[in-house]
Amino acid sequence: MSPPVDSPSDISHSQDGSRERPIRRLRFSTAGKTGIAVILFWSAMVLVGPWIAPYHEAEFLDEALFIVPGLDDPYPATDFQPPGAVAWLGTDYLGRDTLSRLLYGARTTIGISLIATLLAYLIGITLGIAAAAGGRVLDSSLSRLNDAVLSMPTIMLGLVVISAYGSSLPVLIALTSVIYASSVFRIARAFGLDIMVSDFVDAARVRGEGLGWIIRHEVLPGMILPMASDFGLRFVYIILFLSGLSFLGLGVQPPQSDWGGMVRENLAGLPYGAIAPLVPALAIATLTVAINLVVDDISAHHGGKLAGEII
């Protein structure tokens, strides 16, 4: 029997170093990579969509475009046309090009959702850390307030506020960010409390560090990665929420095109098999599913702590 190679007690650093662990790197599954590709595609569309769209979002397509040679119909219908060479994804209830409206709408839907998510994060994280680090009184008053907001279904809160203030972009963004800030608050506070009681924060306090330094150097860095996957989930919920409101006619108002609204305005075509309501709904789905696939990979990487979060 041969002696162990890195036998303990030779020199002390090799002694403790016999089992160094490699850092785990984030790897994406095939599903995750597909998700990233879809997200990149839609991000590109947000940037360049209106320039590559074949028509303007509000442009009614000319009847002349739909005249089929050989068929004796000088005034063909332009609404709810099936996909074809003129309109790749067909036309909507007013005879506008669905593809063009989809490309213009990407900017509204994704843009507003992103702004609302960022705002929700700003509010939620600030208050969450304040609650975690600011002592018992501040924590319990913020938490009670938050519980109240969370104790209503989001859509109810949305309907109540819109019934009072009407629907406009500022109202929508403010409403959405406040509603979702409450979930961000809950998670940020939980992570914050977790970190605040850890020994390394105690070590900093014993050293005499101020609260500000502790928050910046000890608390925030530990929250970034786990909160990143939550950001993805929250973004998905916000897209779904805002599209839902638009679908109910209470979100983004015409003539601005947005995906939820496009489903609503074309619903009348559904019984006749028009795909105009289906296309924007599918567009939302591709984006939200893609984000979820990426989030799944990230949260599997750090132990899936957030996989159970729903509200």
Partner 1 sequence: MLIRAVLHRIATGLVTLVVVSVLIFLGTSVLPGDVASIILGQMATPESLAALRSTLGLDQPAYLRYFMWLGDLLSGDLGISKAGSGAGTGGTPISEMIAPRLANTVHLAGAVALIAVPLSLGLGLAAAARAGTRLDRSITLTTLGLVSVPEFLVATALVLVVAVYLGWLPATAYVSGTETGTALLKALALPTLTLVVVASSQIIRMTRASVLNVMSSPYIEMAVLKGLPRRRIVLRHALPNAVGPIVNVIALNLAYLVSGVVIVETIFAYPGLAKLMVDAVQTRDLPLVQACAMIFCSAYIVLVFIADLASILSNPRLRYPR
Partner 2 sequence: MAALLEIEKLVVNATGGADYPAPVIQGVSLQLEAGEVLALIGESGSGKTTLALSALGYAKPGLEFRAGEVRLNGDDILAMAPDEKRSLRGQRVAYLAQSAAAAFNPALRIGAQVTEASVLHGQLSQAEADRRAADLYRALGLPDPDHLGRRYPHQVSGGQLQRLMAAMALCTRPDLLVLDEPTTALDVTTQIEVLKAFKDVIRQEGAAALYVTHDLSVVAQIADRIAVLYAGEIKEYGSVDEILHRPKHRYTRQLIDAVRPPPDTALGPLEAKDAEQDVPALEVTNLTAGYGRKQASGQLLKVLRDVHIRVERGHTLGVIGESGCGKSTLARVISGLLPAMQGEVRLKDEPLEPSLRQRERRQLQEIQFVFQMADNALNPHQRVDQLLGRPLEFYFGLSGDAKKQRIAELLHMVELPPEFSGRYPEELSGGQKQRINLARALAASPEILLCDEVISALDTIIGASIIRLLKRLRQQTGVAFVFISHDLSAVASFADDIAVLYAGQVVEQGPARRVLAPPYHPYTRLLIASVPELDSSWLERTLALRETRASIDQAVEITDRGCPFYRRCPVAIAGTCDRETPPSHTLDQGYTIVCHRSEAELRRGSFS
The rounded distance, in Å, linking the Cα atoms of 311 and 299 is 17
- The 3 state secondary structure assigned to 73-122 is CCCCCCCCCCCCCCCCCCECCCCEEHHHHHHHHHHHHHHHHHHHHHHHHH
Kindly tell me which residue out of 6, 62, 73, 147 binds partner 1, with binding defined by CB under 8 A: 147
250 binds, among partner 1, partner 2, none (CB under 5 to 8 A by kind): partner 1
Binding mask 209-228 for partner 2 (x = CB under 8 A): x-------xx--xx------
Looking from the CA of 289 toward its CB, the CA atoms found within 13 Å total: 9
> Contact with partner 2 (CB under 8 A): which of 24, 30, 75, 144?
24
Residue 28, SS3? coil
Residue 170 found at the interface with partner 1 (CB under 8 A): no
Residue 310 binds partner 2, judged by CB under 8 A: no
How many residues bind partner 2, per CB under 8 A? 33
Which one of partner 2, partner 1, none interacts with residue 199, CB within 5 to 8 A by kind? Answer: partner 2
Q: Decide: is 303 part of the binding site for partner 2 (CB under 8 A).
A: no
CB 235 → partner 1: shortest distance, Å?
11
Q: Does 94 bind partner 1 (CB under 8 A)?
A: no
Instruction: Using the rule CB under 8 A, give the single segment among 5-13, 38-46, 141-149, 196-204 that binds partner 1.
Output: 141-149
Question: Of partner 1, partner 2, none, which one sits near residue 193, judging by CB under 5 to 8 A according to partner kind?
Answer: none
Contact flag: residue 19 with partner 2 (CB under 8 A): yes
Q: Which residues in the 185-204 window bind partner 2 by CB under 8 A? A: 198-200, 202-203
240 binds partner 1 (CB under 8 A): yes
Query: CA-to-CA distance for 172 and 187, rounded, in angstroms?
Result: 23
CA pair distance 223, 185, nearest whole angstrom: 12
Residue of 36, 115, 193, 278 interacting with partner 1 (CB under 8 A): 278
Q: Which is nearer to partner 2, 166 or 221 (CB)?
A: 221
Question: Is 252 in contact with 172 (CB distance < 8 Å)?
Answer: yes
